[in-house]
Chain A
Amino acid sequence: MHRRCKKYKQVENMKHFAYQAEEHRQKENQAAIRIQSWFRACRVRACLIHLRKKAVIIQKIWRGFRARARFRQMIYRLCYDRFFVRKYIHNFYVRKRYLEGISRKNEFIRRELDELAVLQKRERDCLQMVEEQTAKFYQAHRLHYLLSTKLNGQWVFNSPFRPAPHEMEQLLRQVKYQAPTRLTHRGRACLLGRPEPPAPSFSGSLGAPLVETTRICSFSRPLLPPIANKQKQVST
């Protein structure tokens, strides 16, 4: 009986404990759930925070990379603009070459025009000389009577005090005397421009054409009949 009483007390105790435990079962269950959920949440949070930190690092590195790439490209573009302007728009070497070309061209033009001026001057001098010669010949033609002869060995242009005769003397000897034509104003002008037969000592410029024109000029005016004929007519 003692043992049964002990066992009955034990069962009674256990029932009491079970009943109390039954009361607290709900609460403790809830508490356990809460604790476990909180703990799980902590673990997940820790995991997420870890992930986020690593993601930030990755994104940081990536953005830095992109920004540096963009910066480099901008610098390159600016450099290219500057390069383009310097090479094509304000090209220093082209300008230098252009200025050198200008100075070479200037020298060239100066030389060419100097030569041209010399040529032109020579032509003008030649023309002037021709005119002078023609004027001299005309003078010689007009002053033919100043020619010295064997009789009057010394005459105007053939003085004994000279070592050799004057050049006019030479001209006068070369000029062939022509009978004076009846010169009107026009004829005189004609003769002025075109004098005498050529002298052998003066080359080229007074050539055959001049002789012909002279002849044409002097023979174009018909000579008047001599006075004797007219008197004869009058008398008859």
Chain B
Amino acid sequence: MSQLRPLMLDVVPGIRQTAALALGNLADLSDFMAEAMVKEDILPPLVHFLTEENRFHKKAAAFVLRAVSKHSPELSQAVVASGGVDALVLCLDEFDPGVREATAWALCNIAQHNTSLSQSVVDAGAVPLLVLCLVEPEIALKRIAASTLSNICKHTPELAQIAVDCGAIAHLAQMILDPDAKLKRQVFSALSQISKHSVSLAEMVVEAEVFPAAMATLRDPDQVVRKNVTALMRELVKHTPELAQLIVNCGGVAEVIDFLGKCRGSPRLPGIMMLGYVAAHSEVLAMAVIISKGVSQLAQVLCEETEHHIRAAAAWSIGQIGHHTPEHANAVATANVLPKLLELYMDASSSEDLQDKSKKALKSILQKLTYLPGLEPFLSNAPSNILKHVLHAFSKVLPNDSQARRLFVTSGGLKKVQEMNAEPGSLLQEHINAINSCFPEEIVRYYSPGYSEALLEKLENYQPS
């Protein structure tokens, strides 16, 4: 390192350039090297390179800056402090697309870490130049410009608004149907970062007629593209019911459910969350999710996935679908989801988040449930806070339905209820009493524990006359 630094100040330009390339490759490898380099104070000469005439020097310097700043925010801050950002933005104005691509990549890596760094990139006036890069014919330049805009916009609404004011959305929307897969990845990620902040930004993205054209990209062979499209749909859907209805009317829900069926692992997460957001707005939309076979797909996700955060998201979505009306709760119960949710809640190895979400989902569904055969397994192994909701559901349905009462007795449910111990006066005891009052007293006594002993005692004391 100490030997490379003097080479960067050499007379021969070729040596300077090669030294810079070597430094860049070293910095790319590990953050330790990058930190060492910054400590050795190589940044000022690099910034000087950026202001030189030769475009190979500029490319090499931008390569080093990009490699240094990708590791951590502190290194990026060091780059900003040495005036790197202003010099890079000056280079963005160059004619050569290679130079522009290298500088845009460096800015992308600087802006990705946190808000203040993005703000310094934007303050240097990078955004209009990046939007100009989007219209260039070179695909690599377009890719990098899109990914830089995506990194800038992801932090705060104000930064996203600045990007939108420069007309980024229109250009991004034009590139949606491009055949290049990597470009589409970046474009959709940029659109989703813009639209996630507020309703007005989301509406602007929708007005650019992104949907229904983006539906075709849900069948793209590249999985990352599909994941980013579902991420965009999730960001749009979560703001208002009207936007959610727009996506549902385009047939977006069916496509996302198909996508969930085909892929495995973490790409499923945006799709799951999107279904949850759609169902959360209103019961009509939740019903639309149910008839598009969303619940069976989510149940499959719960069974197949092992990652806790994906399961937690699936549990949350199921809760959002099922909590509106008894119709929704019954649809969820017939898909055999409830035992799985209970299992996740009781499992000691589940994360807290997963347990919390599955408990809330169970509670909200049990409030409205009227489909009783789904509840039978709960009586035997549910903990008491779930049990009281289960008994509450039973006590609401049993007084009115004689068929259900018959089923309850024959399947052994009444027996289990009698065997439960509850403190008198607690909610559990009230529900038990309510259930007992639905049945004739002889049946209740027959199933209560210790009845056979009572009968035997009666037999012993009986004197035949």
- Are B255 and A113 closer than 8 Å at their CB atoms? yes
Number of A-B contacts (CB under 8 A): 47
A109 within 8 A of partner (CB): yes
Interface string of A98-111 (1 = CB under 8 A from B): 11001101111110
Query: What secondary structure prevails in chain A residues at the interface with B?
Result: helix
B406 interface residue per 8 A CB criterion? no
- Is A120 in the interface zone, CB < 8 Å from B? yes
Could you say which of B216, B218, B253, B284 contacts A106, with CB atoms under 8 Å apart? Answer: B253
* Any B CB within 8 A of the CB of A85: no
B284 A109 Cβ-Cβ under 8 A: no
Within 89-103 of A, Cβ neighbours of B (below 8 Å) are at 95, 98-99, 102-103
Known: A99-B287, A106-B254. Is A113-B218 also a contact (CB below 8 A)? yes
Chain A proximity of B241: nearest CB distance (Å):
13
Q: Which of B206-263 contact A (CB under 8 A)?
A: 215-216, 218-219, 221, 248-251, 253-255, 258
A108: B residues at CB distance < 8 A? 251
Q: Which of chain A's residues has its CB closest to B254's CB?
A: A106
Closest Cβ of chain A to B178, distance in Å, is 13
In the complex, residue of chain A having the shortest beta-carbon distance to the beta carbon of B257: A106
Verify B291–A103 contact, CB threshold 8 A.
yes
Residue of B whose beta carbon sits closest to that of A105: B251
Tell me whether B90 is interfacial, beta carbon within 8 Å: no
Counting CB contacts under 8 A, is B199 at the interface? Answer: no
Return chain B residues, CB-CB under 8 Å to A103: 291-292
Q: Confirm or deny: A117 has a beta carbon within 8 angstroms of a beta carbon on chain B.
A: yes
Kindly identify which residue among A99, A105, A106, A120 contacts B219, using a CB–CB cutoff of 8 Å.
A120
Q: Kindly state whether residue B26 has any CB partner on chain A within 8 Å.
A: no
Which residues of B lie under 8 Å from residue A99 when comparing CB positions? 284, 287-288, 291
Q: How far is the CA of A107 from the CA of B248 in the complex (A)?
A: 13
Residues in A with CB closer than 8 Å to B221 are 120-121, 124
A106, B221: Cα distance in complex, Å = 21
How many chain B residues touch A (CB < 8 A): the figure is 18
Question: Contact string, A113-131, partner B, CB cutoff 8 A, digits 1/0?
Answer: 1101100110010000000
Partner pick for A109 among B254, B287, B288, B291, CB 8 A cutoff: B254
Q: Tell me the minimal C-beta distance from A103 to chain B in angstroms.
A: 5
Q: Given the known inter-chain contacts A95-B284, A109-B215, A113-B218, please indicate yes or no for A102 contacting B292, CB distance below 8 A.
A: yes
B253 nearest CB neighbor, chain A only: A106
A67 to chain B minimum Cβ distance, whole angstroms, is 38
Interface size range on A against B: 10 to 19
Closest to A94 in B: B284
| B249 neighbours in A (Cβ, 8 Å) | 102, 105
Taking the closest CB of chain B, its distance from the CB of A62, in whole angstroms, is 47
Min C-beta distance of A90 to chain B, whole Å: 10
List A contacts of B255 (CB < 8 A): 109-110, 113
- Measured CA separation A121–B221 after assembly (Å): 9
Chain A residues lying within 8 Å of B248, measured Cβ to Cβ, are 102
CB distance from B180 to the nearest CB of A (A): 13
Interface residues of B in 278-313 (CB under 8 A from A): 284, 287-288, 291-292
- B284–A110 contact, CB under 8 A? no
Q: Which of B250, B254, B258, B284 contacts A98 (CB 8 A)?
A: B284
CA distance A113 to B262 in the complex (A): 15
- Rounded to whole Å, the gap between the CB of A106 and the closest CB of chain B is 3
| Inter-chain contacts of B218 with A (CB < 8 A) | 113
Contact of A102 with B258 in the complex, beta carbons under 8 Å: no
Name the distance in Å between A175's Cβ and chain B's nearest Cβ: 32
A121 to B287, CA, bound (A): 34
Smallest Cβ-Cβ distance to B212: which chain A residue:
A109
* Contact of B250 with A109 in the complex, beta carbons under 8 Å: yes
| Chain B residues with CB under 8 A of A102 | 248-249, 251, 253, 288, 291-292
Shortest Cβ distance from A50 into chain B, in angstroms? Answer: 60
Residues of B within 8 A of A113 (CB): 215-216, 218-219, 255
Q: Measured between C-beta atoms, what is the minimum distance from B73 to chain A in Å?
A: 41
Cα distance A113–B216 when bound, in Å? 6
Chain B residues with CB under 8 Å of A116's CB are 216, 219
Chain B residue nearest in CB terms to A106:
B254
A103 to B258, CA, bound (A): 14
How far does the Cβ of A27 sit from chain B's closest Cβ, in whole Å? 89
Alpha-carbon distance A106/B254, docked complex (angstroms):
6
A117 to B226, CA, bound (A): 13
Q: Which of B216, B258, B288, B291 contacts A110 (CB 8 A)?
A: B258
A106: B residues at CB distance < 8 A? 251, 253-254, 292
| B260 shortest CB reach to chain A, Å | 14
* A48-104 at interface with B (beta carbon < 8 Å): 95, 98-99, 102-103
**Cα distance A95–B284 in the bound complex, in angstroms:** 7
Chain B residues in 8 Å Cβ range of A109: 215, 250-251, 254-255
Q: How far is the CB of A114 from chain B (nearest CB, A)?
A: 8
Q: How far is the CA of A107 from the CA of B251 in the complex (A)?
A: 8
Q: Closest 3 interchain pairs by CB?
A: A109-B251, A106-B254, A117-B219
Which positions in B face A, CB cutoff 8 Å? 215-216, 218-219, 221, 248-251, 253-255, 258, 284, 287-288, 291-292
**Given known contacts A95-B284, A95-B287, A99-B287, what 6 new A-B pairs fall within 8 Å (CB)?**
A98-B284, A102-B291, A105-B249, A113-B255, A120-B221, A124-B221
A–B pairs, 6, beta carbons within 8 Å? A102-B253, A109-B250, A110-B258, A113-B219, A114-B219, A120-B221
